[in-house]
Amino acid sequence: HLRRLFDGTGVTVDGYMGGLSPPGGFSSVDIAICTIEKANNIINKLIEEKSTEQIAMLVVDELHMIGDDGRGYLLELLLTKIRLLCFEASCLCQVIGLSATITNLDLFSIWLDGVVFQTNFRPVPLARYIKVGKEIFDENFIKQRDFEPQVTFMVNKEDDDDITALCYETTRNNHSVLMFCPTKKWCENLANQISKNFQQLNISTTEKHQGRASVLEQLKRSPAGLDPLLCSSIPYGVAFHHAGLTTEERDVLESGFRQGHLLILVATSTLSSGVNLPARRVIIRTPTFHRAVLQQRVYEQMTGRAGRKGESDTGESILICRSNERNQAKILASSIIPSVESCLVGKLQQKSTVRMERAILEVIGNGLVTSINEVVQYIGCSFLHAQLAIAATQFGRASLFSSLPTDHSLQVLADLQVASRAFALDSELHIVYQITPLNVINDWALDWSRYLSIYENLSSSHQRVAVLIGIDEGVLTRMSLGGGRARVSNKLQQRITIHKRFYAALILHDILQEVPFNNICDKYDCNRGMVQALQQSAASFAGRMVTAFCHELVWWCMELLFNEFQSRLLFGVQRELLDLTRIPLLNNKRARGLYEAGL
């Protein structure tokens, strides 16, 4: 494409991909199109040869690939080296990053010291639909129409989702369809099934026949030869595309699809990113890929292939769901694309070590760094450092202003993050648990049999809170039978701590419901001094610590939830008495009396 654009200008364009590279080397080209791996190798060689001044501009398409757990860390290493070179003024390279699915652009702007240009403009309108059975819904699950196949096929036993009919609805007007499936085998079987159904239609123009014959001939001349399945499907304008094909085969199929010789291409999700293959209609065969709901960013990439300027005047995507997959479809339709995170420290510990080792060994090997200080400076130029620096600043301020010890801050952060995804608000118990101090009753000698009895008599709303927190009746039973007297594992000890904190939360909840101290002491087998100490400690924890922690993390909703509990815990009152407690010398009993008297 770029060669055609620059034809006749004297600008040389060549590619580094697979086993291909320009005969004259990097210095012989003006524009080099590279895979991530090849680009990283080129940068390493230029650093070693001290000739990085050859690079004037680095354009990174699909910049969100930095978050890819497989190859993302290599892209980060490449850009980190460029950042360090620019910092040292030994390279004046301009970096341009492109992406349609990055939500944390501000972080990238800080890391690359760049300016953000952002737009939601799309030259070709895109409509996203979800098909469940015969019904087609929009993204808000508002029904748009019933799907009525415009043609029926004799061989249709395996096509109960009307895939072939959906394809025909688009291809009969000479428009193209790009379809995504989870596995290579699924792609092949589906392409074979569609081509057999299309065979019954016997629709073929001379132009289409010649174009498809050309595709078949090119595949015959490729090193791998002509695949039998492709041989039978391509005459009907259908092909499959996945990593099991050679580079040459994929290039031929992509070219045939762009030129309109192939109207249906069934592919795995790898085709959704980086390859410019626009289609009028994109069909996603299932919301579940590799036993998990499709990632939101991948879904956006797939649907974004529908409708590109110069190819069609509109675009649409259809997500195919069975009736039992409706919830997965709703998740995809309503989810927000997550922030891109560095993969320099991988999800698996062994990957983390290997990646960080490679990050350091590369720059030592090519001579970019020669001392410990320079290694530190190099790591400081990484996306990982930018990401952690911002997170550490927020978290550090939250820890500082909340006066929480670091280990307690981490625990509070983890608890609040879990709670934010599933808060039980049909009672106050879940909120009370979050403002219950950590380890506050660890030195209490609990009667676990009494605890088990209290747990069994909890209301259904309180039992739901217990489940969300992680209370296990099995642990309570084990402890009531004397399981705590034996040596316990660290994992069990952590669970016991959670159970003790929940016990304290139950006491605090009763205090907030204005249950008399004597009744609380009888119920929970404790004395008034213990209850009062717990009450005061929780009031301080709720106000000065948890609420301040949420404020510094800019969690406004959480802060609003916890804000009033410091005063309520201090006085041990329900919410309606909160204003009355501000009157000097008025305790909870007097406040209740005045409230019930109509004040």
CA distances to 238, 479, 501 from 445, in Å = 73, 12, 13
Mean pLDDT of 317-322: 94
Q: Give residue 310's pLDDT.
A: 63
Check whether 175 has a pLDDT greater than 50. Answer: yes
Per the DSSP assignment, residues forming a β-bridge with 267 are 180, 241
Q: Give residue 31's pLDDT.
A: 95
User: For 243-280, what is each residue's pLDDT tens digit?
Assistant: 889 888 998 999 999 898 999 999 998 787 666 777 89
- Run of H or E residues at 97: strand 94-97
Q: Are 282 and 124 in contact (CB under 8 A)?
A: no
Share of the chain above pLDDT 90, in %: 39
Which are the contacts of 384, defined by CB distance < 8 A and separation ≥ 6?
A: 76, 342, 344, 345
Check whether 351 has a pLDDT greater than 50. Answer: no
315: left (phi over 0), alpha (psi -120 to 50) or beta: beta
Q: Which of 531, 534, 551 is nearest to 543 (CA)?
A: 551
Task: Compute the Cα dihedral for 109, 115, 121, 126 and give only its sign.
Answer: negative
DSSP summary character for residue 337? P
Strands 177-180 and 281-284, by their bridges, are: parallel
Q: Give residue 485's pLDDT.
A: 62
Q: Are 545 and 401 in contact (CB under 8 A)?
A: no
Task: Compute the Cα dihedral for 267, 269, 275, 278 and give only its sign.
Answer: positive
Check whether 238 has a pLDDT greater than 60. Answer: yes
Q: Give residue 97's pLDDT.
A: 95
- 135/153 Cα distance (integer angstroms): 20
Q: Which of 284, 223, 279 is nearest to 254 (CA)?
A: 279
- 141/143 Cα distance (integer angstroms): 6
Q: What are the DSSP E strand ranges found in 98-192?
A: 126-132, 135-138, 143-146, 177-180
Q: Give residue 393's pLDDT.
A: 64
38 compared with 17, residue with greater pLDDT = 38
Name, of 152-161, 185-194, 482-491, the range with top average pLDDT: 185-194
Annotate 164-197 with DSSP letters as a single string: HHHHHHHHTTT--EEEE-SSHHHHHHHHHHHHHH
Exposure of 488 by Cβ count < 10 A (0-12 exposed, 13-18 middle, 19+ buried)? middle
Which are the contacts of 257, defined by CB distance < 8 A and separation ≥ 6?
A: 176, 178, 239, 265, 277
Among 17-21, 36-40, 205-209, the range scoring the smallest mean pLDDT is 205-209
Q: Give residue 91's pLDDT.
A: 72
Annotate 431-497 with DSSP letters as a single string: HHHHTSPTTTTTTS---HHHHHHHHHT--HHHHHHHHHHT--HHHHHHHHTTGGGS---HHHHHHHH
Placement of tokens 């129409």 in the chain: 145
- 297/387 Cα distance (integer angstroms): 19
Q: What would the CATH number be for the domain defined by 140-333?
A: 3.40.50.300
Q: Are 494 and 407 in contact (CB under 8 A)?
A: no
Q: Give residue 598's pLDDT.
A: 83
Question: Widest CA span of the chain, in angstroms?
Answer: 97
Domains 2-120+342-382 and 140-333 share a fold: yes
Domain ranges of the chain: 2-120+342-382, 140-333, 403-596
Check whether 591 has a pLDDT greater than 50. Answer: yes
Q: Are 328 and 335 in contact (CB under 8 A)?
A: no
Superfamily classification of domain 2-120+342-382: P-loop containing nucleotide triphosphate hydrolases (3.40.50.300)
Placement of tokens 């675009």 in the chain: 315
- 178/507 Cα distance (integer angstroms): 60
Q: Among the CATH numbers 1.10.3380.20, 2.40.110.10, 1.10.510.10, 3.90.1150.10, which is that of 403-596?
A: 1.10.3380.20
Mean pLDDT of 537-560: 84
Q: Are 64 and 101 in contact (CB under 8 A)?
A: yes
Q: Give residue 349's pLDDT.
A: 41
Placement of tokens 């009888």 in the chain: 522
Check whether 407 has a pLDDT greater than 90. Answer: no
Q: Give residue 378's pLDDT.
A: 92
Check whether 103 has a pLDDT greater than 60. Answer: yes
- 568/431 Cα distance (integer angstroms): 13
502: left (phi over 0), alpha (psi -120 to 50) or beta: alpha
Check whether 583 has a pLDDT greater than 80. Answer: yes
Residue 520 confidence class, pLDDT cut points 50, 70, 90: very high
| 278: its two tokens | 């626009």
Q: Are 284 and 319 in contact (CB under 8 A)?
A: yes
Per the DSSP assignment, residues forming a β-bridge with 240 are 266
Share of the chain above pLDDT 70, in %: 93
Per the DSSP assignment, residues forming a β-bridge with 279 are 306
The length of the chain, given as a count of residues: 599
Q: Which of 537, 548, 544, 595 is nearest to 570 (CA)?
A: 537
Q: Give residue 271's pLDDT.
A: 80
User: For 218-235, what is each residue's pLDDT tens digit?
Assistant: 999 998 899 999 999 999
Check whether 398 has a pLDDT greater than 80. Answer: no
User: For 465-511, what is each residue's pLDDT tens digit?
Assistant: 999 998 999 889 988 887 666 667 778 888 888 999 999 999 999 99
Question: Mean pLDDT for the chain?
Answer: 86
Among 60-74, 119-133, 451-465, 583-597, the range scoring the smallest mean pLDDT is 583-597
Count of CA atoms in the C-beta half-sphere (13 A) of 277: 30
Q: What are the DSSP E strand ranges found in 151-284?
A: 177-180, 238-241, 264-267, 281-284
Exposure of 319 by Cβ count < 10 A (0-12 exposed, 13-18 middle, 19+ buried)? buried
User: For 331-342, what is each residue's pLDDT tens digit?
Assistant: 888 888 889 999
Mean pLDDT of 537-556: 83
Residue 204 confidence class, pLDDT cut points 50, 70, 90: low
pTM for this one?
A: 0.63
- 68/102 Cα distance (integer angstroms): 12
Residue 584 confidence class, pLDDT cut points 50, 70, 90: confident
Check whether 353 has a pLDDT greater than 60. Answer: no
DSSP summary character for residue 281? E
Q: Which of 325, 330, 334, 278 is nearest to 301 (CA)?
A: 278
What backbone torsions phi and psi does residue 281 show, to the nearest 5 degrees? Answer: -130, 135
Residue 206 confidence class, pLDDT cut points 50, 70, 90: low
Mean pLDDT of 44-67: 91
DSSP summary character for residue 65? G
Q: Are 341 and 331 in contact (CB under 8 A)?
A: no
Q: Give residue 274's pLDDT.
A: 61
- Run of H or E residues at 5: helix 2-5
Residue 390 confidence class, pLDDT cut points 50, 70, 90: low
